[in-house]
Chain A
């Protein structure tokens, strides 16, 4: 988020979650309260669901998301996007552990790398952990019930819900910017949504590829996959 550009800074790769100053104190306060409350609930849910296999899996999924988020890929018009990963985590470990993973990743990015503001941390957790991880998990579950009950139908559901995690997270960000008086909704919402429609294609590609890879090697680790061609059913209780 080096957006106080000097000549050399414009050469630098820029990572940006919501920085300080974009979203008002009121919005940040509300999202901090919501994100804090959800995190407490998520810890309780995780306490019930973390099996022996899920403990190291949580760590490695968080590490992968952190690393993959560094890979900005170009989309149209001199703009880049990067992986989000919330739906990847949710498809493997469920909504609440996904939300915890995003909280860990975003907090370390904020404190150690100044990526995303500290006052905006609640807002970033809300947009990426709660909307991207929790809400989009339920979209995945709903889509699964519509599509064929096999690996193909499941992966299509993963692709669509991961695409939606980026579009909905960005749209939520636009609404927060509008409420904060930073930019009118009629301007910022179409702008944010349209660029993230493209970034979401990258998200869907990566998420589907990784989930497909895990299904082929360790289907029991894909917690939301429950069809007969997987060798084990509900895997959360390892």
Chain B
């Protein structure tokens, strides 16, 4: 088997990630996750605080404030987040590499 070209590998990986974030994440389970469920059962859920960042953050809880359609908002915030994480990750890696001594 011939090696897949590295750029093709990266692009396919990014494309798959974007498709997951846009089209699959809106249909993810809405049950509370492990920590939240434990917090609920063991009675410390109310200790969690919604502080100022909650209001400042652009897409709190992977939704878009004021949006009517939750599924589209989730997919859209997933799209933005995935691209941003790729860009920041790539940028950080390039920055670290460029400082090679």
Whether A111 pairs with B36 at a CB distance below 8 angstroms is: no
Residue of A nearest to B50 (CB): A4
How far apart sit A79 and B54, CA to CA, in the bound complex (Å)?
24
A149 close to chain B: CB less than 8 A: no
B97 close to chain A: CB less than 8 A: yes
Residue of B nearest to A107 (CB): B88
Chain B residues in 8 Å Cβ range of A114: 53-54, 57, 60-61
- For the complex formed, measure the closest distance between the CB of B64 and the CB atoms of chain A, giving whole angstroms: 11
Whether B33 pairs with A79 at a CB distance below 8 angstroms is: yes
Residue picked from B10, B31, B93, most chain A C-beta under 10 Å = B93
How far apart sit A63 and B85, CA to CA, in the bound complex (Å)?
5
Residue of B nearest to A65 (CB): B85
Whether B61 pairs with A1 at a CB distance below 8 angstroms is: yes
Whether A19 pairs with B9 at a CB distance below 8 angstroms is: no
Chain A residues in 8 Å Cβ range of B87: 59
Whether B85 pairs with A113 at a CB distance below 8 angstroms is: no
Whether A80 pairs with B51 at a CB distance below 8 angstroms is: no
**Which residues of A in the span 98-143 have a Cβ within 8 Å of any Cβ on B?**
100-101, 104-105, 108-115, 117-118
Residue of B nearest to A77 (CB): B37
Stretch at the interface among A29-37, A47-55, A153-161: A47-55
- For the complex formed, measure the closest distance between the CB of B43 and the CB atoms of chain A, giving whole angstroms: 8
Given contacts A192-B34, A192-B38, contact A13 B28 (CB under 8 A): yes
Chain A residues in 8 Å Cβ range of B21: 66-67, 70
**Which residues of A in the span 194-218 have a Cβ within 8 Å of any Cβ on B?**
195-196, 199, 216-218
Residue of B nearest to A105 (CB): B85
Whether B35 pairs with A173 at a CB distance below 8 angstroms is: yes
Whether B35 pairs with A170 at a CB distance below 8 angstroms is: yes
B68 close to chain A: CB less than 8 A: no
Chain B residues in 8 Å Cβ range of A147: none
Residue of A nearest to B87 (CB): A59
**Which residues of B in the span 17-58 have a Cβ within 8 Å of any Cβ on A?**
17-18, 20-21, 24-25, 28-39, 41-51, 53-54, 57-58
- For the complex formed, measure the closest distance between the CB of B5 and the CB atoms of chain A, giving whole angstroms: 9
Residues of chain A whose beta carbon lies under 8 Å from any beta carbon of chain B = 1-4, 11-22, 43, 46-47, 50, 53-68, 70-75, 77-82, 100-101, 104-105, 108-115, 117-118, 170, 173, 177, 182-183, 187-188, 191-192, 195-196, 199, 216-218, 220-221, 231
Known: A113-B62, A117-B53, A220-B3. 19 other contacts (CB 8 A): A3-B48, A12-B63, A14-B32, A19-B49, A43-B96, A50-B97, A59-B91, A60-B13, A63-B83, A63-B86, A66-B85, A72-B33, A73-B28, A114-B57, A170-B34, A182-B44, A183-B43, A183-B44, A195-B38
